[in-house]
């Protein structure tokens, strides 16, 4: 695993993009030994203007200023212990932020920085933190309700890397991280899931959200084409 950054380090990334009135997202690239892995940060704005940062990515100064115009960074969600890379430098930049992690990931995250809570109180019923059932308590998600419907923000439990090309793309497909449709990556099934029935039940529960406008995943494209059916298909893939 890449060692967490100790100083603000900007890797290649795009621009913050609005997907709903109070929701921004940005995609960057993480260079790995054999490929570049796409990664996503999502930013939810609470009713009082505070921001929930999910899976933080260090951005260049223009984009950080745009983020600060959007609201005040207040919660830093480290969605599992594989997403610690930029966590410390974000906390250093915004010391008042509350650090949030799912209970199962807390010990590993705390090797890098202290965790304030595993059950955050956002003070806004439209933004909900979830520790995903069936994942050893290691995986977090957000449910964000907005004017355009509900957005489900997932981390590693679902991948949607479809445009992988060349040797790097071949490698991502070989390892189970890329494919032709949203899927639960094979390494996630092997190492993260401890209760398929519990995860299947949660996916089915999310599939009944109406309206569900989109699913944002940390690795891969937005799922906005029949997202409810995509969740039902993902549940079925667990057997």
What is the reported pLDDT for 186? Answer: 85
DSSP 36-62: EEEEEEEEEE-TTSEEEEES-----HH
What is the reported pLDDT for 190? Answer: 86
In the chain, pLDDT over 90 holds for what percent of residues? 80
User: At residue 170, does pLDDT exceed 70?
Assistant: no
Instruction: List, for residues 178-187, the tens digit of each pLDDT value.
Output: 667 888 988 8
Span 146-153, average pLDDT:
97
Categorize the per-residue pLDDT at 78 as very low, low, confident or very high, splitting at 50, 70 and 90.
Answer: very high
What is the reported pLDDT for 164? Answer: 62
Span 113-119, average pLDDT:
98
Given strand 72-77, what is the order of strands in its sheet? Answer: 17-20, 23-31, 36-45, 50-54, 72-77, 98-100
Higher pLDDT: 41 or 239? It is: 41
Span 35-40, average pLDDT:
84
Span 44-67, average pLDDT:
98
What is the reported pLDDT for 11? Answer: 96
- The set of residues, in sequence order, having a beta carbon less than 8 Å from that of 104 and lying 6+ positions away, is 131, 135, 136, 137, 138, 139
Domain ranges of the chain: 17-236
Instruction: List, for residues 119-149, the tens digit of each pLDDT value.
Output: 999 999 999 999 999 999 999 999 999 999 9
Top CATH class of 17-236 equals alpha beta
């Amino acid at each position: 695993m890449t060692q967490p950054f100790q100083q603000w380090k900007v890797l290649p990334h795009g621009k913050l993009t609005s997907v709903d009135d109070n929701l921004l997202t940005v995609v960057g690239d993480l260079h790995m030994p054999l490929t570049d892995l796409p990664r996503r940060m999502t930013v939810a704005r609470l009713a009082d203007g505070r921001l929930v940062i999910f899976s933080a990515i260090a951005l260049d100064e223009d984009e950080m200023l745009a983020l600060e115009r959007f609201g005040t960074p207040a919660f830093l969600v480290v969605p599992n212990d594989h997403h610690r890379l930029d966590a410390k430098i974000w906390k250093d930049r915004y010391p008042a932020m509350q650090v949030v992690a799912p209970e199962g990931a807390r010990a590993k995250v705390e090797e890098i920085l202290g965790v304030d809570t595993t059950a955050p109180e956002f003070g806004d019923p439209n933004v909900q933190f979830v520790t995903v059932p069936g994942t050893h308590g290691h995986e977090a998600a957000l449910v964000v309700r907005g004017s355009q419907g509900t957005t489900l923000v997932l981390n590693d439990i679902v991948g949607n890397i479809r445009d992988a090309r060349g040797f790097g793309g071949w490698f991502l497909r070989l390892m189970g991280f890329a494919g032709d449709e949203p899927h639960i990556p094979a390494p996630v099934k092997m190492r993260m899931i401890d209760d398929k029935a519990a995860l299947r039940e949660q996916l089915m529960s999310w599939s009944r959200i109406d309206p569900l406008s989109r699913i944002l995943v940390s690795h891969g494209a937005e799922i906005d084409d029949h997202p409810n059916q995509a969740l039902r298909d993902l549940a079925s893939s667990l057997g």
